[in-house]
């Protein structure tokens, strides 16, 4: 596939990941506390499939492993939100079957070997990138365990701390890999992670500063109410 199309696919996936993050941050700022909106997990499923596709086309082992490990946690959070079973049967079936089909194809076609033996990535950076992805996606395992204990989908403080460290590692990997997709997404995401940490410590919402601007405050409220 044309490299420009592959990069475009990657940017689309990361664009969706960024939109989910902005939606979560916006809702949290408006509420003055960290929120786990349904749309965050719905967008995550679509973005993860696109990112998995990008990782396969880029022969990037770190991305393929990272997206595959965390995928089921997105579904579990939708179950905890009690919306998974309300989604259309076809949508649920596709979300479950597509990642499985990818792995069956990778294994039986032998393409998994080309990913593992990608000569454009040195052993050091492949190991670094994989560890970075594992650390980054471990935040979702932490979030999942915490949510299961609380019987609801929540974002604990540790989720954002792990996000920050993992994102910094992937950012470094993106520079070495010359990957504009990872570079752009992780340079922008750090602000949201930091803001959620501050919200956890009760530092207050940035939107409070707009309290003396009624029209803007009303607009923020309307947008926030659209985020479920």
Is residue 160 scored above 80 in pLDDT?
yes
Is residue 140 scored above 70 in pLDDT?
yes
Is the pTM here over 0.75, yes or no?
Answer: yes
Q: How many helices (H) and strands (E) does the chain have?
A: 9, 0
Q: Give the pLDDT confidence score for residue 63 in this predicted structure.
A: 81
The Cα–Cα gap between 140 and 110 comes to: 30
What average pLDDT does the structure give for the chain? Answer: 83
Asked whether 64 and 115 are in contact (CB, 8 A), the reply is yes
Asked whether 35 and 27 are in contact (CB, 8 A), the reply is yes
> Three-class SS of residue 121?
coil
Into how many domains does the chain fold? 1
Over residues 67-124, the pLDDT tens digits come to 888 899 999 999 999 999 999 999 999 999 999 998 888 888 777 766 666 666 677 7
Asked whether 15 and 50 are in contact (CB, 8 A), the reply is no
The Cα–Cα gap between 100 and 9 comes to: 20
Over residues 28-43, the pLDDT tens digits come to 888 888 888 999 999 9
Residue 26 sits in which domain range? 3-226
Q: Give the pLDDT confidence score for residue 194 in this predicted structure.
A: 86
Mean pLDDT of 52-73: 85
Angle at 195 between CA 152 and CA 62, to 5 degrees: 75
Residue with tokens 């990818």: 102
């Amino acid at each position: 596939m044309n490299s420009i199309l592959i990069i475009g696919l990657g940017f689309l996936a990361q664009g969706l990941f960024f939109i989910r993050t902005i939606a979560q941050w916006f809702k949290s700022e408006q509420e003055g506390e960290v929120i786990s909106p349904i749309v965050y997990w719905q967008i995550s499923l679509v973005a993860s499939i696109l990112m998995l596709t990008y990782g396969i086309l880029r022969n990037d082992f770190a991305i393929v492993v990272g997206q595959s490990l965390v995928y089921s946690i997105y579904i579990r959070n939708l179950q905890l939100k009690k919306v998974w079973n309300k989604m259309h049967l076809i949508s649920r079936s596709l979300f479950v079957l597509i990642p499985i089909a990818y792995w069956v194809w990778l294994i039986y076609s032998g393409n998994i070997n080309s990913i593992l033996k990608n000569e454009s990535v040195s052993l050091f950076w492949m190991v670094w990138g994989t560890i970075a992805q594992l650390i980054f996606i471990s935040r979702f395992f932490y979030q999942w365990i915490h949510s299961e204990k609380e019987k609801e989908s929540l974002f604990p403080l540790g989720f954002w701390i792990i996000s920050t460290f993992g994102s910094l590692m992937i950012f470094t990997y993106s520079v070495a890999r010359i990957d504009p997709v990872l570079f752009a997404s992780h340079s922008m995401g750090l602000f949201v992670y930091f803001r959620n940490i501050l919200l956890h410590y009760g530092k207050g919402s940035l939107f409070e500063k707009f309290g003396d601007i009624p029209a803007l405050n009303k607009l923020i409220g309307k947008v926030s109410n659209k985020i479920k």
